[in-house]
Amino acid sequence: MAEQQADTAELRALAQTMTELMGYCSALKQGASGFAYMLPAEWQGPAMQAFLGSFAAWAVGATGMEETAEALQKQAQAAFDAYDATIESLDTAWTTIESDFG
């Protein structure tokens, strides 16, 4: 049987890391949405509005990071799935060829 040279463990780890990054970005987004509104009611006026605007921008940035991490995770998972299926298919083909000669 031929040896497979592809190592899918790194692709699997990359997909897992991207999944974790998605969770981290989601937590950032949720934190940005909730924290600013936990401030005392005395905080008002233009400075408070600017502060809330900063948190809104933070949430937008976290959303962008989350979406990018999701796209990267999907690419890494697709690459892993393709390599894994190809390796399985080649292993099956080599087993069939070996049994035909054996």
Tokens 């936990």 locate to: 38
pLDDT at 5 over 90: no
In a domain, 92, yes or no: yes
**pLDDT by residue (tens digit) across 64-90?**
999 999 999 999 999 999 999 998 998
In a domain, 38, yes or no: no
Cβ contacts of residue 63 below 8 Å, gap of 6+? 25, 29
Q: Return the closest-CA partner of residue 24 out of 65, 53, 82.
A: 65
**pLDDT by residue (tens digit) across 36-47?**
677 777 778 898
In a domain, 59, yes or no: yes
pLDDT at residue number 70? 95
Q: Which two tokens stand for residue 43?
A: 């905080």
Residue span of the structural domain in which 12 resides: 8-33+48-101
One-letter identity of residue 18: M
pLDDT at residue number 3? 63
In a domain, 1, yes or no: no
In a domain, 40, yes or no: no
In a domain, 84, yes or no: yes
pLDDT at residue number 42? 77
Count of domains in the chain?
1
- The reply to whether the predicted model has a pTM over 0.85 is no
